[in-house]
Amino acid sequence: MLLFAAVLALAGGGARRIVVAPGGEVPTVAAALRLARPGDTVLVTPGVYREPRLEVTVPVTIIGQGEAILDGGGAHEVLTLRADGVVVRNLTIRNVGSSMTEDRAGIRLDRVRGCVIADNHLLGTFFGIYAARSSDCVLSGNLVEGHAAAQTAAGNGIHLFSSRGFTVSGNRIRGHRDGIYLEFSGHAAILGNDSRDNFRYGLHFMYSDSCEYRHNAFTRNGAGVAVMYSRRVTMTGNRFEDNQGAAAYGLLLKEIKDSRIDGNVMARNTVGLFAEGVDRSEIAGNQFLGNGWAVRLMADATDNGFRRNRFEGNTFDVATNSSTSSPSTFSENYWDGYTGYDLNHDGFGDVPFRPVRLFSVLVEQNEPLIILSRSFLLDLLEAAERVAPVLTPETLIDSRPLMRWRRS
Amino acid sequence: MTSLTVFRYELQDLRRSRWVLGYVACLLLLTEALLRFGGGGPRAVLSLMNVVLAVVPLVSIVFGTMYLYGSRNFIQLLLAQPVGRGSLFAGLYAGLAIPLAAGFVLGVGAPFLWDGAGEGSLAGPLLMLLGAGILLTLVFTAVALLVSLLVDDRAKGLGLAILLWLAATALYDALIVLAATSLSDHPLELPLIGLTVLNPVDLGRVLLMLRLDTPALMGYTGAVFERFFASALGTALAAGALVLWCAGPLAAAHRRFCRKDF
């Protein structure tokens, strides 16, 4: 394909290089884009270009050299891609300004495919990168930094609407409403991004089937990460850390089917994993460390398997609003609260572990009782409840708890 | 001056008593074991929190009453001398509370010091733990003093002491659970804060919990508590309540001591 393009370029007299420089032969990016033919490269030399509403309508490569800054002047979009195969690299785009009526973006992808947006800085753009009805593009290594002071004035860092097959990798996103927002966008790969200090979700995900997230870090976001109404989602090796607040979750799952959540670390969140209406999913090899609630499992979550997870230092390991049965299974997890024994030395405890504490049931029914956390009385009641469970769900047990944590 | 002499004598007496030494040794052993085998510093502090909240009041009140009953003859002897009752009382209390508090600080603090676990982010919670332990020691030795002066019968006094400890650590919380579950339709945050402030053990627990259990407490209700106890009013109220818990029984005991016919 590349070879073909190169041959084509040679045949057409070679791809040209158009150099944009303030005071030069081509002083504006807009002028360069008017001159450009398919396959050309637009080289933007250092300088501040106050040119809002640039439209790219032919497949060109736009590369910034040093500090090439495109300034939106505080009230306009900057770059809109309307051609397939456009490459935008190493530009700084800033000062788009927020709006209540339009979703202005630093870089907008409108009905395109095969574009590459890499290594750009998007600073104080209302929406960083906004892709609508596009497919098979790569967004990688960008720094997307919002400067809004409040959620109402912030847009999303990377916003995919009704787009397919995107790769979003190695971006650093902060200070936006949602770090990465996917809506009706299937088959996306979200890899190695760092999304932190956003007002709402580090990653927000609606109606987007068959996506995968690997090795991302989501830190100190207002409400953590939300993955909703999707099927076949793979979440592997991500870190969810320090998402604390009244409605903050490391990972909030709602109406998720047939998904895999494995090898993630959830540390110091108010709620590590919140699962509502999650079905037929596997939660394995994750580490829940020092969360308020490691897992909150709603009664409508069914047929999920929790295997080989590590629960350590959480105030509550598992909480549920169901008192009778557990529609999900727990096995071979490591629980730091486990006090059983292992007579045959196979590495698994011989007596089952009940991860739902009496206290978590009490708090579930009556939240202010959290003030009794670590009370001596509750330790006594807990011991009694363990001998003869009355209030805690009888079937929510791990019958083969790991004696020692090890990665399997 | 006289109270200092009494204090010094009592210090010697206590040093000879194997009780305080045993107390320090137990705390040393426990803290060291928790630090070594309990999965590191933060979890050791959490486990120690239970010790501080249950064991420190128990030892303070039981040992305090027993010691005071034991030294009844010594007190009577001193009272026969030209010694002011007020200064004798001050010496008695200081001589009892200070070695216990110092023993606690030594027993819990030393392992952190020589294991180097009390540095960095753990320094705050550890200091808080030590502070809570000292305050609880002061409160419960004051209560012990009052009990030993109010009840002349040694067995009854000891029984009352244990009952008071049980009330503060467990029964009181049981009442809170009962009240909260029967009134669960009402907003309970503020009443619960009020009830917590009224019990020194609960107060110590909540202050420690706010430092150690933050993720769980960042929920809505937790945020209410956090905001209250982190505010100037809350801190003043909490500190005031603990001081009152120390000063109240002490004042009553002092009054009783000055008027009592031994």
> What residue has token string 């973006």?
A105
Distance CA A233, CA A279 (A): 12
Distance CA A57, CA A81 (A): 7
Distance CA B40, CA B120 (A): 14
CB-based contact, B196 to chain A, within 8 Å: yes
CB contact at 8 A, A370 and B217: yes
CB contact at 8 A, A176 and A199: yes
Tokens found for residue B82 = 């030209």
10 Å CB burial of residue A352 (0-12, 13-18, 19+) is middle
* Average pLDDT, rounded, for chain A: 90
Query: What pLDDT shows up at residue A408?
Result: 58
Query: What pLDDT shows up at residue A185?
Result: 94
Distance CA A42, CA A39 (A): 10
Query: Number of residue pairs across A and B with CB atoms under 8 Å?
Result: 108
Query: What pLDDT shows up at residue A274?
Result: 94
Helix (H) or strand (E) holding A86: none
Query: What pLDDT shows up at residue A3?
Result: 38
Contact A380 B170 (CB under 8 A): yes
Side-chain half-sphere CA neighbours of B175 within 13 A:
13
**Which member of B43, B169, B216 has the closest CB to residue A373?**
B216
Strands A234-236 and A287-289, by their bridges, are unpaired
Query: What pLDDT shows up at residue B124?
Result: 79
Instruction: Tell me which of A282-286, A324-328, B24-28 is least confident.
Output: A324-328
How far is C-alpha B125 from the geometric centre of its chain's CA atoms?
Answer: 17
State the CB neighbour count (10 A cutoff) for residue A191: 18
CB contact at 8 A, A319 and A344: no
10 Å CB burial of residue A144 (0-12, 13-18, 19+) is buried
Side-chain half-sphere CA neighbours of B72 within 13 A:
13
How far is C-alpha B117 from the geometric centre of its chain's CA atoms?
Answer: 24
Per-residue pLDDT at A87 exceeds 80: yes
Distance CA A367, CA A378 (A): 15
DSSP A208-250: --S-EEES-EEES-SSEEEEEEEES-EEES-EEE---STT-EE
Per-residue pLDDT at A288 exceeds 90: yes
Distance CA A293, CA B216 (A): 6
Strands A105-110 and A224-231, by their bridges, are unpaired
CB-based contact, B1 to chain A, within 8 Å: no
**Which member of A365, A370, A380 has the closest CB to residue B216?**
A370
CB contact at 8 A, A159 and A146: no
Distance CA A283, CA A259 (A): 9
Tokens found for residue A91 = 């530009």
Surface of A (307-366) touching B: CB under 8 A: 312-313, 315-316, 336, 362, 365-366
> What residue has token string 């088959």?
A187
- How does pLDDT run across B41-54, given as a tens digit for each residue? 667 777 888 888 88
B172 → chain A, closest CA residue: A377
DSSP A125-161: -SEEEEEES-BS-EEES-EEE---SSGGG---SEEEE
Mean pLDDT in residue range A50-75:
92
CB-based contact, B199 to chain A, within 8 Å: no
Query: What pLDDT shows up at residue A325?
Result: 63
10 Å CB burial of residue A323 (0-12, 13-18, 19+) is middle
- How does pLDDT run across A347-402, given as a tens digit for each residue? 999 999 989 888 888 888 888 888 888 888 888 888 888 888 888 887 888 999 99
DSSP A52-74: -SEEE-S--EEEE-SSEEEE-TT
CB contact at 8 A, A289 and A310: yes
> Strand, helix or coil at B210?
helix
ipTM surpasses cut 0.90: no
Query: What pLDDT shows up at residue B15?
Result: 63
Instruction: Tell me which of A26-40, A239-253, B185-199 is least confident.
Output: B185-199
Residues of chain B with pLDDT under 50: none
In degrees, to the nearest 5, what angle opens at C-alpha B201 toward C-alphas B196 and B207? 65
CB contact at 8 A, A189 and A166: yes
10 Å CB burial of residue B191 (0-12, 13-18, 19+) is middle
10 Å CB burial of residue B13 (0-12, 13-18, 19+) is middle
Rounded to a whole number, what is the distance in angstroms from the first to the last CA of chain A? 42
Within 8 A of A316 by CB-CB distance, chain B residues are 216
Surface of B (34-63) touching A: CB under 8 A: 39, 42-43, 46, 49-50, 53-54
How far is C-alpha A303 from the geometric centre of its chain's CA atoms?
Answer: 25
Distance CA B228, CA B242 (A): 16
B52 → chain A, closest CA residue: A376
Looking at CA atoms only, how far is residue A315 from chain B in angstroms?
Answer: 6
Distance CA A121, CA A193 (A): 15
Contact B54 A292 (CB under 8 A): no
Nearest to A263 by CA among A280, A295, A288: A288
- Residue range(s) defining the domain that contains residue B125: 2-259
Say how many domains are in chain B. Answer: 1
Q: Which residues pair with A164 in a beta bridge?
A: A135
Query: What pLDDT shows up at residue A7?
Result: 36
Within 8 A of B219 by CB-CB distance, chain A residues are 246, 270, 292, 367, 370
Per-residue pLDDT at A5 exceeds 60: no
- How does pLDDT run across A15-24, given as a tens digit for each residue? 889 999 988 8
